Structure formats: structure tokens, C-alpha cells
Amino acid sequence: METEQYIRGLDTIGRLSEPAIRNAIKALTLPDECRILDLPCGIGSHMCWFLDEYPQVRITGADLAEEHIALARERLQQADKIRSCELVLADMNKLEFENDSFDLVWCCDGLWLGPKDMGCPAEEPYDILDGLVRITRPGGRVAVAFWSSQRLLPGFSDLEATLNATKFAMRAFHPSRRPELHVMRTPAWLRRAGLTNIEVKSFVADLCAPFDETKSEGLVTVCSYFWGQAKPEVSESTWEKYSSLVNPESDSFILNDINYAGLLTYTMYVGTKTSR
């Protein structure tokens, strides 16, 4: 059940973040015949979007979860894109690809740091990035992207700020971690791995009413992801207000407002491997 919920969550967040990720992919301006690694590839959404933008590339999707690989294969087959792809099981801590295998290594939301029992790949990024650089050809690039912000409760800035300040909402940025391990410090990570020509750019996914049922359910899921277990950390009145805004049965359900406008942002960090 937990695996099914996690996969539904991947699909939901993918649908909402799609405009931002597609624009990030477009900004990479890849040549034909480019060899790409998508790690972790999840359920294959980004692989499809790469091939929509660059039909001539070859892309390998790698993930630690067999369920993700199976769903990615199904999605690529349905989109008639499987011929341009390879799917493999892989652990980003123990990559078995040969040196200089790819022109681009794409890692989106795959390098969140923390304990492995929280689902994180590592507590520090350096060994993983060294592995990504090893398998990138000279002159190729490593692109690392993360969700970086959200505005989901328009008109309720104080409420959203209170929720964002909870330990639950900040669990990806635990205060015990060193400042240099915050994801917004990724340029330093890339430089430490030997990459040059570091570029940073953020991309927005606008969230505007009216919403169909799928997107409405997706936004409620995203709100729950950010704040769904913050109740013990806020006042009763704060929690009641938040709950009424994200409850589809409530008269105050915020997504029923035809004037609703919110956003999600992703930030992409790109570095180039120096040619020999």
C-alpha cells in the first residue's frame, strides 16, 4: 500500500511540476544523438518529456525500485518511445556504468540528503556526484534539479508562513545539517566534484484555476506532503483554518475559488566536465 501511495504521489507531483521540468529540459538545448542518463528515473515521466523535446536522443533510465522501472517501461511503451530508451536497475551509490558513458546526467529530486531510513540516498552528496562525473564524458554535463519553493495558499500568507516554519515542513532542511549541505548550495557541490561553467536557473509551474478533478486532488496531495503532519506544531485555530482550506467538502475549499493562483518552482544546477 505504501508503495502504491508513493507511486501515486510521484505521478501527482509530476503532473503539477510538468511545466517547470519541461522548461528546464528545453533550456539544456541538447544536440541530436545525445546520450542521456535519467537517475533516478522514477516512473518515466522525465524520459518522455526529454524525448518530446529531443526526439533523436538516446536515454537510459535508472532507478533502484523495480516497480518504478516496470511503470516507466509501460509509460514509454504507451507513448511509443521505448525504442529510444534503455531501463536498468541501479543504485546511485554504486553505479556500474562505464567511464565517460553519457553526454548528460540528469538527476531531478534524486539527491535530497538525509538518513537512508527517510528514503534519502546519502547524508552527503560528494561520493554520489563523483560517480556521476565519472560516467559523464569529457565536455558533457551533469544537471541536478530540486523543488525549491511553493506558494499554495494565496491570500493566506501568514498561515502559509506558519506552516512552512514547522519542523515537518522543514524536514528536508533539518537544522542539524551543515549549511553547506542545503540544496541551494549545490553549485559548491558541483565545483567540488570538478565540474566547471556552473549555471543556475529556476523554473516556475503556475497553478491557476479552474482545476479538473485530477489536478484538484493533486494539489490537495501536495499540500498534505508539505504540511499534512504539522498539526502538533501549530495552534488549534491555525490547523482548523488550514484544514478548511484544503478540504474539498468545505465551503472554504481554496481550489473552488475561480481566482486561485499558486506556483511551484524547481531550480536546476548544471556543471560541465572538463575536456581532457
pLDDT in tens, 201-213: 999 999 999 998 8
Q: What percent of the chain has pLDDT over 70?
A: 94
Strand residues in the chain grouped as ranges (E): 35-38, 58-63, 85-89, 102-108, 136-151, 195-208, 261-273
For range 120-133, the mean pLDDT: 94
- Residue 100 inside a domain? The answer is yes
| φ, ψ of residue 268 in degrees (nearest 5) | -110, 135
Rounded distance between C-alpha atoms, residue 3 and residue 22, angstroms: 26
Rounded distance between C-alpha atoms, residue 111 and residue 24, angstroms: 17
- Residue 98 inside a domain? The answer is yes
- For 8-63, the pLDDT digits (tens) are 667 777 889 999 999 999 999 999 999 999 999 999 999 999 999 999 999 999 99
pLDDT value of residue 173? 67
pLDDT tier for residue 6 given thresholds of 50, 70 and 90:
low
Is pLDDT at 1 greater than 60 in this prediction?
A: no
Rounded distance between C-alpha atoms, residue 134 and residue 144, angstroms: 15
- Residue 137 inside a domain? The answer is yes
Report how many domains make up the chain. 1
| Closest by CA position to 234, among listed 168, 156, 164, 163 | 163
Range of the domain at 35: 2-152+178-206+263-273
- Residue 73 inside a domain? The answer is yes
pLDDT value of residue 2? 47
- CATH number, position 82: 3.40.50.150
pLDDT value of residue 176? 62
| Closest by CA position to 249, among listed 271, 274, 217, 210 | 217
For range 70-75, the mean pLDDT: 94
For range 88-103, the mean pLDDT: 96
pLDDT value of residue 214? 85
- Residue 238 inside a domain? The answer is no
- Residue 70 inside a domain? The answer is yes
Residue entry with cell 523535446: 53
**Local structure of 33: helix, strand or coil:** coil
pLDDT value of residue 128? 97
Grid cell, residue 121, equals: 540516498
pLDDT value of residue 174? 63
Cis ω before 40 (30° cut-off from 0): yes
- Residue 216 inside a domain? The answer is no
- Residue 254 inside a domain? The answer is no
Cis ω before 175 (30° cut-off from 0): no
**Lowest-pLDDT range of 160-164, 169-173, 227-231:** 169-173
pLDDT top residue among 13 and 64? 64
